[in-house]
Amino acid sequence: MPREPKNATPLEKLKHYCAYQERCHAEVKEKLRKLEVPFYEHDGIVAVLIADKYLNEERFAKLFARSKMRQKQWGIQKIKQALKQKQVSEYCIRAALKELEEAEYAGILQKTAERKWLTMQHETPYIQRNKLAQYLLRKGFESEAVWRTIATLVAN
């Protein structure tokens, strides 16, 4: 994608910024601050970006959730927390999490657990289970699903 000209207006720069990749409202407002746009113009510029479909928080949340689950193998809890940090609305967070496919999510949890389990073979079984649980919980998977997955790994 070509770079925007140096003498472009803040609106043109933000259109380019939003066209390059999906953004949330907080990222756009931070960019406005960095571009030193007066605060009283922020809402108007954001409204134009929304009207021109450059900015859509629900679309951002859904893409963010899918990509973090697939690429970084994050669990729902970590995705939800990251979206909250980006100041995404609760409605958009719920819509994004609803869109995640349960079977794919369970498969990612299983593969992540198996991959980590294989690296911990020198530990005692008790320590191995606890370390695996801590790892999966840090990745944002739910406690109940983590222990269910660990139980299937130990049984095999």
> Which residue type sits at 20?
Y
* Token pair belonging to 143: 């406690």
What does the alpha-carbon distance between residue 11 and residue 14 come to, in Å, rounded to a whole number? 5
Query: Do the Cβ atoms of 112 and 120 come closer than 8 Å?
Result: no
d(CA 55, CA 43): 13
State the DSSP code for 130: H
CATH of 102-155, one of 3.30.70, 1.10.10, 3.30.2320, 1.20.58: 1.10.10
pLDDT digits (tens, 9 = 90+) for 88-141: 999 999 999 999 999 999 999 999 999 999 888 777 888 999 999 999 999 999
Q: 2 by DSSP, 3-state: which?
A: coil
**Structure-model confidence comparison of residues 96 and 1, the more confident one:** 96
pLDDT tens readout for residues 7-55: 788 999 999 999 999 999 999 999 999 999 999 999 999 999 999 999 9
Q: Closest by alpha carbon to 137, among 63, 82, 84, 74?
A: 74
The set of residues, in sequence order, having a beta carbon less than 8 Å from that of 98 and lying 6+ positions away, is none
Q: Tell me, yes or no, if the pTM score tops 0.85.
A: yes
Domain ranges of the chain: 10-51, 58-99, 102-155
SS3 76: helix
**Burial (0-12, 13-18, 19+ Cβ within 10 Å), 88:** buried
**Per-residue model confidence as pLDDT tens digits over 45-71:** 999 999 999 999 999 999 999 999 999
